[in-house]
Amino acid sequence: MPTIVLNGEPRQLRAPMTVAELISELGLEARLVAVERNREIVPRAEHGEALVDDGDRLEIVTFVGGG
């Protein structure tokens, strides 16, 4: 099983999957998050094709309250 680092935490995936599949599996809404894979932004239009596989480092971010 591929292991990725998601927001700094190791996480096992059942199989390699697309960014869109990962977002949905995490219960997130694609329009509310931005994704970086190995320090490169994955534009939303590419979520359906971009693959997440063993060793990838992902950052999934959103807006929170702040000054």
Partner 1 sequence: MNAHTDTWTLAGRTLRSRLIVGTGKYADAEETKAALDASGAEIVTVALRRVDLKAKDNLLSWIDRDRYTLLPNTAGCYSADDAVRTLRLARELGIADIVKLEVIGDPKTLFPDNEETLKAAKILLHEGFTVLPYCTDDPVVCRKLEALGCAAVMPLAAPIGSGLGIRNRHNIRLIIEQANVPVIVDAGVGTASDATVAMELGCDGVLMNTAIAKADDPIMMAEAMRLGVIAGRLAYQAGRMPIRAYANASSPTGGLIE
Residues of this chain that interact with partner 1 (CB under 8 A) are: 7-8, 26-29, 31-36, 39, 41, 43-44, 59-67
Q: Are 36 and 58 in contact (CB under 8 A)?
A: yes
Query: Cβ of residue 35: shortest distance to partner 1, in angstroms?
Result: 8
Which C-beta is closer to partner 1: that of 14 or that of 31?
31
**How many angstroms separate the CA atoms of 41 and 38, rounded?**
8
Which C-beta is closer to partner 1: that of 1 or that of 32?
32
Query: Cβ of residue 36: shortest distance to partner 1, in angstroms?
Result: 6
Query: Cβ of residue 1: shortest distance to partner 1, in angstroms?
Result: 19
**How many angstroms separate the CA atoms of 30 and 6, rounded?**
16
Q: Are 4 and 56 in contact (CB under 8 A)?
A: yes
